[in-house]
């Protein structure tokens, strides 16, 4: 589990924003962590799945796609990834 105050957390956020920005085609600076992924950012289920696949490859993890339905905000997604990535 990566801790929120760590440099790894900041790297994680930066990398996830880069991926989300590329797939959802939203400027990285607009990706505030508390915005609702579907209703506010307009990210649909297919985009979310594509983001998942890219995060799996980038962080070398496996994410259970069923968990996507529980994710409401980018902060939720950071938390999920942080729980799956082994700290260095």
Q: Which of 57, 60, 83, 87 binds other proteins (CB under 8 A)?
A: 57
Residue with tokens 């790894």: 8
Question: Judged by CB under 8 A, which of 8, 18, 33, 38 binds other proteins?
Answer: 38
Q: Does 30 bind other proteins (CB under 8 A)?
A: yes
Token pair listed for 12: 């994680």
6 or 28, CB closer to other proteins?
Answer: 28
Which backbone phi and psi does 49 adopt, to 5 degrees?
A: -70, -40
Distances (CA, A) of 64 to 6, 42, 50, 58: 25, 22, 13, 16
Q: Enter the tokens of residue 14.
A: 């930066």
Tell me whether residue 19 or residue 82 sits nearer to other proteins (CB atom): 19
Residues at the site binding other proteins, with contacts judged by CB under 8 A: 24-27, 30, 38-42, 44-47, 49-50, 52-54, 56-57, 65-66, 68-69
């Amino acid at each position: 589990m990566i801790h929120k105050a760590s440099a790894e957390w900041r790297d994680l956020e930066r990398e996830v924003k880069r991926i989300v920005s590329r797939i959802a085609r939203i400027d990285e600076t607009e990706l505030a962590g508390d915005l609702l992924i579907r209703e506010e950012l307009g990210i649909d289920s297919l985009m979310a799945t594509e983001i998942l696949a890219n995060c799996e490859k980038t962080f070398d993890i496996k994410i259970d796609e069923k968990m996507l339905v529980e994710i409401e905000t980018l902060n939720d997604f950071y938390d999920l990834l942080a729980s799956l990535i082994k700290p260095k």
